[in-house]
């Protein structure tokens, strides 16, 4: 009799356990969504990271983060086409805080522009809605202010394939001194000639008196898009490319890596942000990634490096 009761108890336990299992809801798996920005740029301001890039059809978006890992998209565009020259192709924005104002350098309809705002969220507006250089295609403008306070603008011209030039700016940070226009680099290394003739997306940092330019080569559509480096002792002098370029190309599972910008994180460490293709079969939508960068001694000279290990920023849930 005891054995019968024991077996009955076991059967009832199994039935009850099965019912509980059937009532348990299925777990929902949330795959993290990468930050969909191409030509990305990150600014640290007032202990908050702001990211801008190419994505929206009608202007420039802005995202914020406290830790470079999770990002939130602002509800409004930082720059809307109504406040800018051009109706399309809003590319490669960079934002700088100078003398109490925020300056956004960007491209619209393949012309370089600059807009101003009182907040990193915008709204950024062009005082005069026209390109910085009229009558000529130019893209990818990047501001650099030297130790003596002189401002310079690096950008791409279409007069030898796509190549990188520099010019000094007036004190208003918006007007190019055309008499100072100077060529920097053009396609000249074998790795750059996969497809087509492109040197673009310059970004400048200064370290121990040397100017370091990161740039991208090959079309953004190429899986061999990569990041190289050139150096100079004089902004208007000769820029010399590293013979072992590229510094970054196809790291890990990424392809189409390029159009980078550098920034210091909250710890003061140098970081580089760049974009890559969606995967090895699809270019779009591109997403942004972050890696560490720095300088190391090679034959007694400081050489820039970019780590191949990268982080994938994602949208906060």
| pLDDT, tens digit (0-9, with 9 covering 90-100), for 150-165 | 999 999 999 989 999 9
Cα-Cα end-to-end distance for the chain: 58
Q: What is the pLDDT of residues 240-278, one digit of tens each?
A: 999 999 999 999 999 999 999 999 999 999 999 999 999
Residues of the domain holding 247: 32-315
The reply to whether 153 falls in a domain is yes
Integer Cα distance of 68 and 51 in angstroms = 10
Residue 5 located in a structural domain? no
pLDDT of residue 295: 98
Residue 31: what pLDDT?
Answer: 84
Task: Report pLDDT digits (tens) over 83-142.
Answer: 999 999 999 999 999 999 999 999 999 999 999 999 999 999 999 999 999 999 999 999
Which one of the listed residues 26, 27, 39, 308 is annotated catalytic?
A: 39
**Exposed, middle or buried by CB within 10 Å (0-12, 13-18, 19+), for 252?**
exposed
Nearest C-alpha neighbor of 262 from the set 252, 270, 250, 251? 270
- Return d(Cα 273, Cα 286) in angstroms, integer: 13
Specify whether 39 is catalytic: yes
25 domain-assigned: no
Listed as own residue / partner, the contacts of 149-153 with beta carbons closer than 8 Å and 24 or more positions apart are 152/204, 152/235, 153/105, 153/112
Q: 0.75 exceeded by the pTM?
A: yes
Report the number of distinct structural domains present in the chain.
1
The reply to whether 6 falls in a domain is no
* Per-residue pLDDT band at 61 (split at 50, 70, 90): very high
Q: How confident is residue 303, by pLDDT bands cut at 50, 70 and 90?
A: very high
Catalytic status, residue 94: no
Say how many CA atoms lie within 13 Å of 63 toward its Cβ. Answer: 29
- Cα–Cα distance, 229 to 248 (Å, whole number): 10
In 3D, which of 72, 82, 156, 146 has the Cα closest to residue 112?
Answer: 156
Residue 2 maps to a domain: no
CATH number, position 272: 2.115.10.20
192 is a domain residue? yes
Q: Decide if 8 is inside a domain.
A: no
120 located within any domain: yes
Place of tokens 């920023």: 313
Catalytic residue among 61, 140, 156, 200: 200
């Amino acid at each position: 009799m005891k054995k019968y009761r024991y077996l009955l108890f076991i059967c009832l336990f199994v039935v009850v356990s099965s019912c509980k299992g059937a009532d348990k809801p299925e777990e929902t798996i949330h795959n993290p969504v990468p930050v969909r920005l191409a030509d990305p740029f990150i600014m640290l301001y007032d202990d908050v990271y702001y990211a801008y890039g190419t994505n929206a059809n009608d202007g420039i978006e802005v995202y914020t983060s406290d830790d470079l890992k999770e990002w939130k998209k602002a509800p409004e565009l930082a720059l809307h086409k109504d406040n800018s020259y051009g109706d399309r192709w809003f590319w490669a924005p960079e934002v700088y805080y100078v003398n109490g104002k925020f300056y956004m350098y960007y491209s619209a309809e393949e012309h370089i522009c600059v807009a101003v705002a009182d907040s990193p969220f915008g709204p950024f507006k062009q005082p005069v809605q026209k390109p910085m250089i009229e009558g000529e295609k130019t893209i990818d403008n990047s501001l650099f202010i030297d130790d003596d306070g002189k401002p310079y603008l690096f950008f791409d011209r279409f007069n030898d394939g796509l190549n990188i030039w520099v010019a000094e700016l007036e004190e208003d940070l918006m007007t190019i001194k055309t008499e100072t226009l100077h060529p920097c680099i053009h396609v000249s290394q074998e790795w750059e000639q996969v497809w087509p003739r492109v040197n673009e997306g310059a970004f400048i940092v200064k370290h121990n008196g040397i100017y370091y330019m990161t740039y991208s080569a090959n079309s953004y559509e190429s899986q061999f898009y990569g990041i190289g480096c050139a150096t100079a002792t004089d902004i208007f002098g000769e820029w010399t490319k590293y013979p072992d370029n590229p510094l970054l190309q196809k790291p890990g599972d990424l392809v189409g890596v390029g159009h980078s910008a550098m920034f210091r994180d909250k710890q003061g460490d140098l970081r580089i942000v760049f974009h890559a293709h969606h995967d090895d079969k699809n270019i779009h939508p591109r997403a942004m990634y972050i890696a560490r960068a720095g300088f190391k001694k090679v034959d007694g000279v400081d050489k820039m490096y970019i780590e191949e290990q990268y982080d994938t920023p994602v949208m906060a849930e």
